[in-house]
Structure 1
Amino acid sequence: MAATKPARLPGRHRRVPERQATYGEVIAVPEFRALWLGQVFSLLGDQLAQVALAILVYSRTQSALATAAVYALTYLPPILGGPLLSGLADRYPRRRVMLICDVLRALLVALMAVPGMPLGVLCALVFGVVLIGAPFSAARAALLPEILEGDRYVIGSALQNMTNQALQMLGFVAGGALIAAMGPYRALALDAATFLASALCILAGVRRRPSPASGDSGKPSVWAMTKAGARLVFGDSRLRTLVLFAWLCGFYVLPEGIAAPYAAALSDDPAAVPTVTGLLMAAMPTGTVLGAFLFSRFVTPSGRLHVMGWMAMLSCAPLAVCAVRPPLAVVLALWVLSGIGGAYQLAANAAFVRCVPSSSRGQAFGLVQSGLLAAQGIGILIGGAAAQELGPEPVVALAGAAGLVAAALLTALWAKHRSDVISASRGEPGT
């Protein structure tokens, strides 16, 4: 008598086929277009403002230290106030938080554009503008998964990331020429207008949603939400690993912070140093744009989570080759390759969204972003001090080697949680 095959229960052991989203269908979402257009306006204005501030402060003080100190103010506020203020994105409607932040930033930048503003007041205004950006960024990051679901979120994140990097490259190339034509004060006034343009895009294109905490009997305090967010992020081994993947950028962004001395070490002609510096600073953003496009377009959602660790190692490994002091063309290729590896952040970001409850995303993203800025700032600061003693090439190589070791350890930790997150990304029951 032949053995009978057991009946298959409906839905049991059935793998949901993966579907990759396209850039076209993501851009077709009206709410995403509104957020994206607002991002373009804000980033263009911010690039102009950064160059304008550097020129304005240096022309007044003739001090490189004062100019660098004002630039450092773009890192300090989110590190200090980001974890607290980011909770506002979970306490109040996220659309309202973004609108208020844009209007407040427009007012503060407009004050910066007043000719003759004292340097101390100018620094305070810069601090305020960047600080208010923390809850805005947290609200936008938490809102995006509600607008784009599944793989659309990854494609939308990739598009935003590529836009960010492309506008940075454009700012490096065109910012100085525009400031020369219009002057720093007009550039700051234009930056104020871009914040208003961003607010109008959000007002017209993003629909109202209730506060994530609206179902609660009483809204918790900001401090209570901060502590709860920290417990959520660092008390879950999956989230803790993903956060450390995000903070790994402290190793591979270090070369950008010492691009000028690296250019001087590569070039015998002092007149060529500015050009070489620009090429070096543009290399990693170029790789990031290329990597984000290839990674999001041609790798399946589960495939991204499988190779995330290897991509993280790729973001650091090429930098270690700088120990042999290769020529400029090779250095540029290595830095572009490092930027391509940095596309792993798309997979880490998508996995993080999967594991964080919607009601806590604003606080969680704010904590990660604050740590991200701290990792970048501290990495660049340590790299600059070490390059003063050892030279730029060995410092970049050491950063790459240390980052490679850290990425390998994180990859081993990630292997314990990867299958659960992949199951969730395929639509199977799970976390």
Structure 2
Amino acid sequence: MTMTGAARRPAYRDALGEPRFRVLFATRTVAIMADTLRMLALSVLVYGRTGSPLLASAAFAAGFLPQVAGGTLAGALADRLRPRPLIAGAYALEAVAALALALLDLPIAAALALVALIACATPVFAGATNRLVAEVLTGDAYVLGRSLMTISAAIAQLLGLACGGIAVAVLGVRGALLAATAAYLAAALLVRLLLPDLPPAPPPASDGGAADGTDGADGGRRRSLVKESWAGTVRLLTDPVVRPLLLAQWLPSAFCAGAESLLVPYAAVRGFGSGTAALLLGCTVGGMLLGNLAAGRLLSPPARERLLVPLMALTGLPLLPLALGVPAPAAAALLLLAGTGLAYELGIQRPFVDALPEDGRGHAFGLLSTGLMTLQGIGPLAVGALAEFVTVGPALAAAGVLILAVTALLRPALRRSVPAP
């Protein structure tokens, strides 16, 4: 993108100055709010009809865990198809699903299956969105653009939860689902009207046609979608540079999600006052927002990459004292500090994009999204199961130990994948 001065460091306004990024940024923010509103309303609906906490939690998980199938077996679509119809169509499909949940008296199993089916498509259009961001923003402007999307996603989730509670109380569950439908339709319409009709990614120079009987790109034919997606997934996961960068984005966030899932019982066990659990959860999100803003505005790109490993360790280290009987203000401060460590992800963004094959960026971003969503669903289950045996405080500390262990194990590979400035 155009820079006003050769020596000036890019700022957030440079990312927002790119019109295509603005469209993707705004519509993804609206869609995340709609996702949160839909999940909350569906969970309330399921619990109200069944009285089952397990099925109510399944209403949340149904939107995440099935993404592993879409990301693994259909991820190549993010590069094969033109992004505008793909992204707009995905939001329209989300709207149809939310409308069906609002208007049709579906059995619980059918409602959860519908959400799970739609979730399979999420990695595909998420991959296409992030591929476009990497194309329209370059250098540090891309890193700051990703930071903005992370920040807006957290804010959108908080607003979705807050507005969702109000919407369910005022409009009822079905009215809240209709509001989510309207938000999805708005996102689809904005993409269709404002995003240029850009081409798909170039086909691979050679897709190994001899292995499966097709001619490859030069012969005008491509592998089947599933074969191409599986081959791309294997290629990414076996790449010695890409693999540690994926794991570094997946694993710490999974254990952080596990720790967050225990904050409500932690506040209860510790005997903190009413509303303290919400404060503790807010400290984690607030720390993440502060860390991203500080790293994005105050640190140079080389400094962010140099601090990647220390910041990753910072996400786990403050969790260790929670095994002890710390008072509520100290717990809040520790969680705020742990949240700031999540800014380590900014140091990964440039090396990650640089390591990706140009013909498979959309697939790679879809795989990244798949791993994040899947492991953030598994992390709370694993840490929660541990808490059943060792109690909540030690389980929170164990999540911190796991983050530190991952940091130590990935450190050599990250040092190779992220060259010293």
Q: Given the two structures, how large is their TM-score scaled by the length of structure 2?
A: 0.90
- 1:140-199 alpha-carbon deviations (Å, 9 max, x no partner): 111111111111111111111111111222233342122101111111111112111111
Give the CA deviation at 1:349. 2.7
Contact 2:70 2:122 (8 Å CA) reproduced = no
Matched residue, 2:69: 80
Q: 1: distance between equivalents of 2:370 and 2:17?
A: 32
Could you say which residue in structure 2 is the equivalent of 1:192?
Answer: 181
Segments of structure 1 that go 5 or more residues without pairing to the other structure are 1-16, 423-431
1:250 aligns with 2:235: no
What letter is aligned with 2:326? P
More displaced stretch, 213-222 vs 276-285: 213-222
Q: Of 218, 240, 265, which aligns to 2:221?
A: 218
Tell me if the contact between 1:108 and 1:128 (Cα under 8 Å) persists in the aligned partners: no
Match of 1:238 in 2: 241
Larger Rg: 1
Contact 1:213 1:219 in 2 (8 A): no
Matched, 1:267 2:271: yes
Cα distance, 1:19 vs. partner?
4.9
1:242, CA displacement in angstroms? 0.5
How far apart, in 2, do the equivalents of 1:198 and 1:222 lie? Answer: 27
Gap runs ≥5 in structure 2: 1-5, 205-216
Preserved CA contact (<8 Å) 1:18 1:301: no
- C-alpha separation in 1, matches of 2:272 and 2:238: 52
| Secondary structure at 1:177 match in 2 | helix
Q: Could you tell me how far 1:54 is from its partner in structure 2?
A: 1.5
Corresponding residue for residue 212 of structure 2: none
What SS is found at the alignment partner of 1:393? Answer: helix
Matches of 1:318 and 1:419 in 2, distance apart?
Answer: 28
> What's the RMSD between the two structures over aligned residues?
1.8
- State whether residues 158 and 346 of structure 1, in contact with CA within 8 Å, keep that contact through their aligned partners in structure 2: yes
Secondary structure of the residue that 1:128 maps to in structure 2? helix
1:403 is aligned to 403
1:33 counterpart = 2:8:
no
**Residues in 2 aligned to 1:62 and 1:109: alpha-carbon distance in whole angstroms:** 22
Query: Structure 1 residues 306, 396: closer, same or farther in 2, change over 3 A?
Result: same
TM-score, normalised by the number of residues in structure 1: 0.88
Structure 2: distance between partners of 1:175 and 1:291? 27
Cα gap change, 1:64 to 1:180, in 2 (>3 Å) = same
Q: Check conservation: 2:98, 2:178, Cα contact below 8 A.
A: yes
Structure 2: how far apart are the matches of 1:417 and 1:91? 28
Displacement after TM superposition at 1:116 (Å): 2.6
**Could you tell me which residue of structure 2 aligns to residue 108 of structure 1?**
97
In structure 1, distance between residues paired with 2:416 and 2:371 = 24
Q: Which amino acid aligns with 1:120?
A: A
Q: Please tell me whether the aligned partners of residues 257 and 384 of structure 1 are also in contact (alpha carbons under 8 angstroms).
A: yes
Q: Which whole-Å deviations, capped at 9, do the CAs of 1:326-384 have from their partners, x for residues lacking one?
A: 11111111111111101111221332111112220111122222222232222211111
1:129 aligns with 2:108: no
In the alignment, what sits opposite 1:427?
Answer: none
Aligned to 2:54: 65
Deviation at 1:268, TM superposition (A): 5.9
Taking the aligned partners of 2:228 and 2:8, their CA distance within structure 1 comes to: 36
What SS does the corresponding residue of 1:343 show, helix, strand or coil? Answer: helix
- Percent of aligned positions that are identical: 31
State how far apart, in whole Å, the 1-side matches of 2:320 and 2:239 are.
32
